[in-house]
Amino acid sequence: MAVQQLSRAALHAPAHPMAKPGFGKRSAPDQEPRRGRDFAHLPKREAAIAGYIDRLPDGADISIKTLARELDDFGQCAVGTALRRLSEAGHLRRVRRDVQDAEGARWVYRTYFTRTARPDAWWAAFLER
Q: pLDDT for 50-80, tens place per residue?
A: 999 999 999 999 999 999 999 988 999 999 9
Q: What are phi and psi of 98, to 5 degrees?
A: -85, 125
> What is the Cα–Cα distance from 90 to 52, expressed in whole angstroms?
16
pLDDT more than 70, % of the chain: 89
% of the chain exceeding 90 in pLDDT: 60
Q: Is the pLDDT of residue 92 over 50?
A: yes
Instruction: Determine the pLDDT at residue 4.
Output: 47
Of 11-25, 90-104, 109-123, which one has max mean pLDDT? Answer: 109-123
User: Who's near 98: CB < 8 A, 6+ residues apart?
Assistant: 105, 106, 107
- For residue range 9-22, what is the model confidence (pLDDT) as tens digits? 444 445 889 988 77
Give me the pLDDT at residue 1, please: 47
In a domain, 123, yes or no: yes
The CATH number that applies at residue 114 is 1.10.10
The answer to whether residue 88 is domain-embedded is: yes
- Residue-range definition of the domain harbouring residue 19: 15-27+36-128
Phi, psi angle pair for 18, to nearest 5°: -95, 150
Query: Is the entire prediction scored with pTM above 0.75?
Result: yes
> Is the residue at 41 inside a domain?
yes
CA distance 69 to 28: 25
Paired with 112 in beta bridges are 26, 93
- As a whole number of angstroms, the longest Cα–Cα distance in the chain is 58
